[in-house]
Amino acid sequence: MALIYFRKAGVYVPANVLHRYILWLVGRAIKERELREIAIGLWSPELPSTVPLKVDEALATAYSMGLHRGWIRWDTDGSRRQIFDADRRKVCKVQKDGALLTVIDEVELRKQLGGLSPRIFQIHESHMAYVEEWVSVVTPRTYSYHDLDRIRLALVEQLYRVEEWDVGSFINDRAVPFSDEARESIPELVSRMGLNSLPVSKVHGDLVQSNTSLTKGHKPVLYDWEYSRSCVVTHDVWFYLYHGLLCARASVELSYFFDELERITAWVLPKSVDLIALHLIHLYEREALLLWNVNIVDSSFALERLGESIKEARHLLSEKCIALGDVNCGISYER
């Protein structure tokens, strides 16, 4: 099978569906008013002299599960390879080597989500793969409070089932382990928040703008559930804010970020809670996921950036303690 590799997009396209891939790129660019999507998708085409064996295996798995021609996105930053059906009806996801979480766990979770998640047609347990519906959507590219609130309401109705976890259970009985620094700091952070336990639930785990879409009827559809796990229940909406405001727009005032965080987390946490402490707990949760993921993809840049955010949050908390005259704060901010 002749394959064309588009280096910038990290996509292998069989020659016999190249025209369908280009038509999809053009249609997507027009719909999203992003002409650069065409340039990215067609950047540096080449006929590779050697193709990773796993490319052929992933394509063969997808075809055996009912995809009649398609292209594969190889260099993704998640734990799944993605094969897109040329007829734009289905997407096959195959687990990468080294991924610790199975697709079975993800499929079981998504059964309860209804239209919040693309429908799964078929699962192939031996290949750790499944086929899901290709949904035509309008993707929000920038942070929007209204979009986030719509998504939050859908998650509350369909996903979040809050349990009260004591701090010891939270930091020790985890599928994704915390760093030593996090284990040492989280109990005191919880105490600073004035809580005796933590409201924990299964969450999406990677709720960024590019993983969220709205149908034409403005109903949310969420993608890429492979990092779903138990976290403090506000993790998803916090990460949507963090990624959309602090990561994408570095010039945003921190006071604005915390105002938005208080506004969107008031549904589950008292308004008097220490938001810097909550922010730091969620940063540690994100760090744990990236540390777990480092054997699957290169997370070094994301970890470096997250480390700076952790250092900044600890500094803010330390300054706040000094301002309040709290000599028992106990949290230093050196990393």
d(CA 58, CA 148): 34
Q: Which whole number is the average pLDDT over 118-128?
A: 90
- Predicted confidence (pLDDT) per residue in 21-59, tens digit: 999 999 888 877 778 888 888 988 999 888 888 898 999
- Between 262 and 52, residue with greater pLDDT: 262
Reported as a pLDDT band with limits 50, 70 and 90, residue 231 is very high
Beta bridge partners of 131: 92, 122
- Predicted confidence (pLDDT) per residue in 152-196, tens digit: 999 999 999 999 999 999 998 767 789 999 999 999 999 999 998
Spatial CA neighbour of 198 closest among 234, 239, 174, 172:
234
Sign of dihedral through CA atoms 291, 292, 295, 299? negative
Q: What is the pTM of this model?
A: 0.89
Quote the pLDDT of residue 324.
58
Within the chain, where are the H helices?
Answer: 18-32, 36-41, 53-64, 103-110, 145-158, 167-172, 180-192, 235-241, 254-265, 275-293, 300-324
Within 119-166, where are the H helices?
Answer: 145-158
Quote the pLDDT of residue 257.
92
- Predicted confidence (pLDDT) per residue in 289-298, tens digit: 888 877 677 7
Quote the pLDDT of residue 290.
86
Quote the pLDDT of residue 320.
81
Model confidence at 327: pLDDT above 50? no
